Amino acid sequence: MKVLVLNSMVPFLKGGAEALAYHLVQKLNDTRGVHAELVRIPFKWEPAERLIDEILICRSMRLYGTDMMIGLKFPAYLVPHNRKRLWLLHQFRQAYDLWDTGQSNIPNTSRGREIRHAIIEADNRCFPDCDKIFATRLVAKRLQHYNGFDAEIMMAPLNDPELFVGGDYGSYVFCGGRINAAKRQHLLVEAMRFTRNNVKLVVAGPPDTPSDAARLQDLVERYNLNDRVYLDLGFLTREWIAKYVNEALACAYLPVDEDSVGYVTMEAFSAAKAILTVSDAGGLLDIVHDGDTGLVVQPDPQSLATAINRLANDRNTTIEMGKEGRMRWNSMNVTWPATIERLLA
Amino acid sequence: MKIALCASFLPFINGGGRFIVEWLERKLVENGHEVERIYLPFVEDFRDMFAQMVAYRLIDLTESCDRLIAFRPPSYMLRHPCKILWFIHHFRFYYDLWNTEYRPVPDSVAGRAIRDMVFAADNVTLREARHIFTNSRTVSDRLRQFNGIDSEVLYPPLQDPERFRSDGYGDEIVCISRIEHHKRQHLLIEALSHTKAPVKLRICGDSIPPPTYSDELKALVGRLGLDGRVVFEQRWISEEEKIELLATALAVAYVPFDEDSYGYPSLEGSHAHKAILTTTDSGGVTELVVDSVNGYVCAPQPQALGEAMDRLFLDRSRASAMGRAAYQRVLDLGITWENVVQKLLA
């Protein structure tokens, strides 16, 4: 069976969605009897008037010699095909929830409202033609709320679970992932001012901008935390990150209202580490419950410090929560083989 | 420099149209450039061909790259202030193949109107290019003849030509290419039956199903009693294997019917210092091969090809001299990545 995966792209930009598309195609090709390829259609949403062109571009494209199409992002999923499935990573949020919260790039003018309407209309005409739609819980909720369509819940699996096998429980809390203000590593660094001396913090990952790196470095200097906070900033190999996770006491992840569970959470649970997070973190709160598989506290340094002390002082409970997290995660069967099977079923 | 490479493509089908893009991508990256390769689908069906062309036209890469290099039609319909073409063929059914059985619409008022629209779209969008390079003289001639547009021939090199080598000159004439009727491997088998010397022939390569032509070739070998002298393998030949097979070959043979370009098999032979056996009607191959200099250009008949095979076998020093000349010819024509990168980025 020939499966074509369609994704939107911004030339020269690569992020999580690109990595997911790449792995999806690879895992499809590892499946017996399946031949998969990726098509990436350039997408530009500024000025807002472009959006009409973008819809037209995708609706005018034709596919040749393809048995099944899997669409990932707007507007690439609008490309017509008679056997279409969506793994809906994103609708165009500026026409939906970001419009409602006033964060849209589409102006609230009569023309802007027409453009927004065109996007919703294009979506509403596309979805009935899909024989299945998969999405994360939050994306599915929006789809139901704004378009009235149901989606089956599907999470993106870890691409390299074999690296995150766990290990000894050390004396540091580990915070991995991209470094920027919205991931709030700075709150953790500040929290370390108020923690006891028997616990350390390791923050590792690529900063989005030099100022994201400088912010953390300045905090460490200002509060004289050099011996208890270790910053390993830059691009790190997967093996290196896995070593940090596998030997940690627990992992921390504090994004602002993220759609998905996040790779950091999956890596931690895969390695049987409890997660420290905050009450406005979004998608990961689906599987992290306070006192059960981790700790969920208010997003301020004092509350985080109390939680870090708790993790360090009651190591047995921390380890138990990590093991519970692994069990919970494994029982969800979020793996590539299971994902491919559902996508093609 | 930020460079976008844009080409239409057929999903799930590999071929020369992709190699030229992906090999160039690698060389540009090696030269320190940022490259984004954009393959877009396109179905050449007259009923929705124009809507797809409009889609290409609407895509806006003007601010996202410093230079756009476009290849297969209709990728050159994208707009960019610095648009460079490495034009490898037209929509041939509406151009040079119009007066053949391949014509996709009737030669009626309506059919000709469709053809006129293809011409009109091409004439506008091709002229926007800052420079047009083609992969052969044949394609450049067509651009001049049909569109009145001048272009420059820029021959596409092999990916890693320096990997090819010669270990001497054995008894075998080697033909590695897709096994297809218009590549005319049957002509080579028939030619072998006209030889007097004990020269051997190896024919190998992949084929697109169904295997009708392969079966015919196998039957032909048996019918002519050439079993001991022809090795026939219908399968994909890896680069490593190809290098080994060419290293000990006596010469290479490539006898397609009226191809646009010189074809990678002739180029591979040249890099392995082997003479090239081809025919007068092979099209682009004759741009590369000069008769009796770096190979033989024969009449497309078994008798003539058989005689050339005998000459290659019986005069080894001549065969090896022509092989060395073949390598020199590639350099003289500037078929190197260094030249390609410099021209495309000038």
Contacts of A79 in chain B (CB under 8 A): 41
Calpha distance B63→A203 (Å, rounded): 36
Instruction: Tell me how many domains chain A contains.
Output: 2
Supply the CATH number for residue A277's domain: 3.40.50.2000
Q: What is the mean pLDDT of chain B?
A: 95
What is the pLDDT at residue B260? 86
Calpha distance B271→B159 (Å, rounded): 12
- Which of A11, A58, A79 minimises the CB distance to B65? A11
CB A153 within 8 A of CB A108: no
What is the pLDDT at residue A282? 87
Residue B341 lies in a domain: no
Percent of chain A with pLDDT over 70: 100
Both tokens assigned to B123: 């004439």
Contacts of A43 in chain B (CB under 8 A): none
B214 and B133 housed in the same domain: no
**What number is the average pLDDT over the span B317-335?**
96
Q: Does A15 have pLDDT greater than 80?
A: no
What is the pLDDT at residue A220? 97
Calpha distance B122→B128 (Å, rounded): 10
> Domain limits at B45?
2-154
Contacts of A54 in chain B (CB under 8 A): 58
Q: What is the mean pLDDT of chain A?
A: 95
Supply the CATH number for residue B140's domain: 3.40.50.2000
B59 and B117 housed in the same domain: yes
Q: Number of A:B CB contacts under 8 A?
A: 76
What is the pLDDT at residue B269? 98
Q: Using one digit for the tens of pLDDT, what is the confidence trace for A282-331?
A: 889 988 999 999 999 999 999 999 999 999 999 999 999 999 999 999 99
What is the pLDDT at residue A14? 80
Contact A39 B41 (CB under 8 A): yes
A240 and A260 housed in the same domain: yes
Q: How many other C-beta atoms can be found within 10 angstroms of the C-beta atom of residue A196?
A: 11
B186 and B148 housed in the same domain: no
Mutate: best of A3, A6, A12, partner B, most B CBs <10 A: A12
A165 and A126 housed in the same domain: no
Q: Using one digit for the tens of pLDDT, what is the confidence trace for B51-86?
A: 999 999 999 999 999 999 999 999 999 999 999 999
Q: Does B35 have pLDDT greater than 90?
A: yes
Supply the CATH number for residue A135's domain: 3.40.50
Facing residues of A97 across strands? none
Calpha distance A268→B213 (Å, rounded): 57
Residue B136 lies in a domain: yes
Domain boundary among B96, B119, B154: B154
A117 and A240 housed in the same domain: no
Mapping DSSP to helix (H, G, I), strand (E, B) and coil, where does residue A294 land? Answer: strand
A213 and A150 housed in the same domain: no
What is the pLDDT at residue A13? 86
Residue A338 lies in a domain: no
B37 and B143 housed in the same domain: yes
A194 and A262 housed in the same domain: yes
A197 and A130 housed in the same domain: no
Domain boundary among A104, A136, A154: A154
Domain boundary among A121, A136, A154: A154
* Inter-helix orientation angle A50-60/A110-126, to 10°: 20
Residue B97 lies in a domain: yes
B34 and B115 housed in the same domain: yes
Cα–Cα distance list, A204 to A219, A241, A263 (Å): 15, 8, 14
Whole-prediction pTM = 0.86
Q: Does B195 have pLDDT greater than 90?
A: yes
Cα torsion angle, A225, A227, A233, A239, sign: negative
Does B95 or A257 have the greater pLDDT score? B95
A302 and A221 housed in the same domain: yes
Calpha distance B111→B91 (Å, rounded): 15
Q: Using one digit for the tens of pLDDT, what is the confidence trace for B136-159?
A: 999 999 999 999 999 999 999 999
Q: Does B210 have pLDDT greater than 90?
A: no
Q: Which residues of A touch B (CB under 8 A)?
A: 2, 4, 9-12, 35, 37, 39-42, 44, 50, 53-54, 56-58, 60-66, 79
Kindly identify which residue of chain B lies nearest to residue A14, measuring between CA atoms: B36
A109 and A26 housed in the same domain: yes
Q: Using one digit for the tens of pLDDT, what is the confidence trace for A249-294?
A: 999 999 998 878 888 999 999 999 999 999 999 889 988 999 999 9
State residue B56 phi and psi, 5-degree precision: -60, -45
Contact A37 B12 (CB under 8 A): yes
**B4 and chain A in contact, CB less than 8 A:** yes
Nearest C-alpha neighbor of B217 from the set B236, B190, B194: B190
What is the pLDDT at residue A69? 98
How far A198 CA lies from chain B's nearest CA (Å)? 47
Mapping DSSP to helix (H, G, I), strand (E, B) and coil, where does residue B277 land? Answer: strand
Contact B2 A12 (CB under 8 A): yes
**B14 and chain A in contact, CB less than 8 A:** no
Q: Which of A14-18, A147-151, A241-245, B256-260 has the lowest mean pLDDT?
A: A14-18
Instruction: Write the DSSP assignment of B174-191 as a string of letters.
Output: EEES---GGGTHHHHHHH
B208 and B113 housed in the same domain: no
**What number is the average pLDDT over the span B162-181?**
95
How far A11 CA lies from chain B's nearest CA (Å)? 6
For residue A16, name the pLDDT band (cuts at 50, 70, 90).
Answer: confident
**What number is the average pLDDT over the span B208-227?**
91
Cα–Cα distance list, A283 to A139, A208, A257 (Å): 10, 22, 7
Calpha distance B185→B191 (Å, rounded): 10
**What number is the average pLDDT over the span A229-258?**
95
Residue A342 lies in a domain: no
Contact A57 B58 (CB under 8 A): yes
Both tokens assigned to A277: 């997070």
Domain boundary among A119, A136, A154: A154
Q: Does A77 have pLDDT greater than 90?
A: yes
Contact A53 B40 (CB under 8 A): no
Q: Using one digit for the tens of pLDDT, what is the confidence trace for A37-72?
A: 999 999 999 999 999 999 999 999 999 889 999 999
DSSP state of B291: B
From chain B residues 48-87, the ones with a CB under 8 A of any chain A CB are 48, 51-52, 54-55, 58-61, 64-65
What is the pLDDT at residue B310? 98
Calpha distance B326→B289 (Å, rounded): 8
> Domain limits at A322?
161-331
Cα–Cα distance list, B26 to B20, B35, B71, B341 (Å): 10, 9, 16, 11
Domain boundary among B97, B129, B154: B154
Calpha distance B276→B288 (Å, rounded): 9
First-to-last C-alpha distance (Å) of chain B: 12
B84 and B167 housed in the same domain: no
B77 and B41 housed in the same domain: yes
A68 and A199 housed in the same domain: no
Q: Using one digit for the tens of pLDDT, what is the confidence trace for B229-239?
A: 999 999 989 99
Contact A12 B64 (CB under 8 A): yes
A32 and A136 housed in the same domain: yes
Instruction: Tell me how many domains chain B contains.
Output: 2
What is the pLDDT at residue B330? 96
What is the pLDDT at residue B215? 94
Cα–Cα distance list, B122 to B90, B112, B118, B131 (Å): 9, 15, 6, 15
What is the pLDDT at residue A275? 98
What is the pLDDT at residue A176? 95
Q: Helices (DSSP H) in chain A: which residue ranges?
A: 16-29, 50-60, 97-100, 110-126, 137-142, 185-191, 210-222, 238-246, 263-270, 301-313, 315-331, 336-344
Q: Using one digit for the tens of pLDDT, what is the confidence trace for A114-139?
A: 999 999 999 999 999 999 999 988 89
Both tokens assigned to B195: 């030889």
Contacts of A65 in chain B (CB under 8 A): 10-13
Both tokens assigned to B120: 């009109």
